[in-house]
Copies of this chain bind each other. A is one copy, B any other.
Amino acid sequence: MSTDLSKKIRHEAFLDKIVSAEEAASWIEDGMTIGMSGFTLFGEPKVFPKALSERGKNEKFKVNIFTGASLGPDADQAMAEADIINLRLPYQANPVMRKKINSGEMKYIDQHLSHTAETLRQGNLGKVDYAVIEAAAITEDGLIIPTGSVGNSPIFVEKADHVIIELNTSTPDSYEGIHDIYVPKDQGDNREAIPVYDDLSKRIGTIGIKVDPAKVRGVILSDRPDIPSPLFEPNEETQAIADNLLDFLAKEVEEGRLGPNLAPLQSGVGSVANAVLSGMAKSDRFKNLVVASEVLQDGIFDLIDAGVVDFAIATAFSLSKKRVDNLASDLEKYKDKILFRPQEITNHPEVIRRLGVIAFNTALEVDIYGNVNSTHVSGTHVMNGIGGSADFARNARITIFVTQSTAKDGNISTIVPFVTHVDHTNHEVDVIVTEQGYADIRGLCPTDAAEKIIENCMHPKYKAQARKYFEDAKAKRGGNTPHLLDEAFSWHINLAEKGTMLLDEK
């Protein structure tokens, strides 16, 4: 290990600081706030949170855990199981943690992913005691080279009183050079423009995170590999959604609103996003695309291989086992096609509006007027979180939400009279896509949008009851956005009582 280690830790001041995970975990006090690296299971510390969770089994304490986004089994899950978290933000996706949150045992703030860094800078979330950052290496200059995500690590390192580095000796050396770390100044301090322009490949920052060595209290060694995500192979329904979305984009090109290289693309994580990317790789309709996204999934490599995508920006990987196993060689191969930036930069409203991104994200439910719920099942139980979807949706050139028209064997219609929780208002929703078709609601008033969403996107078996609600609401109440407040949630209530959103005919 020592040969490796001299390559991985190339600055003497850090070599002296190697400690065990248990020792580092012992420094944490009840009530502290820890900022951890990690985003969609990539780049998170693994042995530190595990050690902290172990300590929690014998000792009563609680900490606040702020991250980039979702962490995996050794972190979010282990800490949730050990009941050591008071407050968690800005995003999670772990089933055990989700259960603790929804039972009220853990506090959770679902935050826009571009906002966390700003709120820390503004002092609006209190201070960060420790930053715990997974690293691929520490350079001669004392830069921390992150691994498969950047996330909020730069702001955590800047704002924390102390830094703990979890150096992962199993990570490919080729991580070095893939990151582009730019940290904005404080507001009111002559802050400059974020220097991201049309040429996305132009570097704006450094290859690693600057840290004052005096702030680094410990370096932990780890060899835990990156965590693969499930592989999302397209099925018939996700393929149909992807085809509809590609048809919409083709029409935009045909009608001259977009060129064949479209506009920078952002895609959410999941099966539909992956199916769309695969569809683009197979299609010859679009070329010389660039990706300005939050997360890179497997599909991005296919698109680069197919010569469809020229360059991609993101803050993290989310890769399947196959890609994780090939990561070292893939990083070499794709290194000049990819840059990883802090999540406040990839998701920055300034950057998204300037570039004119096309954003497609997944909806949990959509209402007939185009309001979108991305997070809360039946309005109460949070699934994962809003993530970066609203960062992109609000400022995109075209904002697209995708969903299958039904769920749970058709007992749930994802298109409902009134969403039980609003994450995206219809002010910022342009196109809804399901396997049934797409509704382009740009330039439509709410009632015209409703006609189109019901007609083009709903599953046929729910159309009649949607039309009845809509017509009754217009006739009995009226307004620019007709609703019947005593029936608005009747489909959800029916589901809770009878197991289906299909109402009895009367």
Query: Which residues of the partner chain B approach A108 to less than 8 Å between Cβ atoms?
Result: 445, 480
Number of copies of chain A assembled together: 2
Q: B187 to A380, Cβ gap below 8 A?
A: no
Q: Mark A106-127, 1 if CB is under 8 A from B, else 0.
A: 0111111001001100111110
Q: B485 to A427, Cβ gap below 8 A?
A: no
Q: Mark A407-427, 1 if CB is under 8 A from B, else 0.
A: 000000000000011110101
Q: B480 to A101, Cβ gap below 8 A?
A: yes
Stretch touching chain B among A6-14, A346-354, A452-460: A346-354
| Residue A174 lies at the interface, judged by CB distance under 8 Å to chain B | no
B381, B445, B479, B488: the one contacting A489 at CB < 8 Å is B488
Distance, CA A111 to CA B125, complexed state (A): 31
Q: Closest CB of chain B to A82's CB: distance in Å? A: 19
Q: Closest CB of chain B to A387's CB: distance in Å? A: 11
Interface of A is mostly: loop
Query: Which residues of the partner chain B approach A496 to less than 8 Å between Cβ atoms?
Result: 485
Distance, CA A29 to CA B127, complexed state (A): 61
Query: Which residues of the partner chain B approach A485 to less than 8 Å between Cβ atoms?
Result: 378-379, 420, 489, 492-493, 496
Query: Which residues of the partner chain B approach A478 to less than 8 Å between Cβ atoms?
Result: 102-104, 380-381
Q: Please report which residues of chain A, range 336-384, place their CB below 8 angstroms from some CB of chain B when the two chains form the complex.
A: 348-350, 353-356, 371, 376, 378-382
Given contacts A107-B448, A380-B477, A477-B380, A122 and B483 within 8 Å (CB-CB)? no
| Residue A386 lies at the interface, judged by CB distance under 8 Å to chain B | yes
Q: Please report which residues of chain A, range 430-464, place their CB below 8 angstroms from some CB of chain B when the two chains form the complex.
A: 430, 442-445, 447-448
Q: Please report which residues of chain A, range 458-506, place their CB below 8 angstroms from some CB of chain B when the two chains form the complex.
A: 473-474, 477-483, 485-486, 488-489, 492-493, 496
Q: B187 to A354, Cβ gap below 8 A?
A: yes
Query: Which residues of the partner chain B approach A123 to less than 8 Å between Cβ atoms?
Result: 256-257
Q: Closest CB of chain B to A159's CB: distance in Å? A: 14
B189, B423, B442: the one contacting A119 at CB < 8 Å is B442
Q: Closest residue of chain B to A87, judged by CB?
A: B445
The list of the 8 closest CB pairs from A to B, nearest first, reads A187-B356, A380-B479, A193-B193, A422-B422, A349-B349, A350-B350, A107-B445, A381-B479
User: Could you list 6 A-B pairs, sorted by A, with CB under 8 Å?
Assistant: A104-B474, A190-B197, A191-B197, A193-B193, A349-B394, A381-B480
User: Which residue numbers of A lie inside 8 Å of B, CB to CB?
Assistant: 87, 101-104, 107-112, 115, 118-119, 122-126, 187-195, 197-198, 256-257, 259, 263, 348-350, 353-356, 371, 376, 378-382, 386, 390, 394-395, 397-398, 420-423, 425, 427-428, 430, 442-445, 447-448, 473-474, 477-483, 485-486, 488-489, 492-493, 496
Beyond the given pairs A87-B443, A119-B442, 14 more chain A to chain B contacts, judged by CB atoms under 8 angstroms and listed by A's residue number, are A108-B445, A109-B443, A122-B398, A187-B263, A187-B355, A188-B356, A191-B197, A348-B353, A371-B422, A379-B479, A379-B483, A380-B481, A485-B489, A489-B489
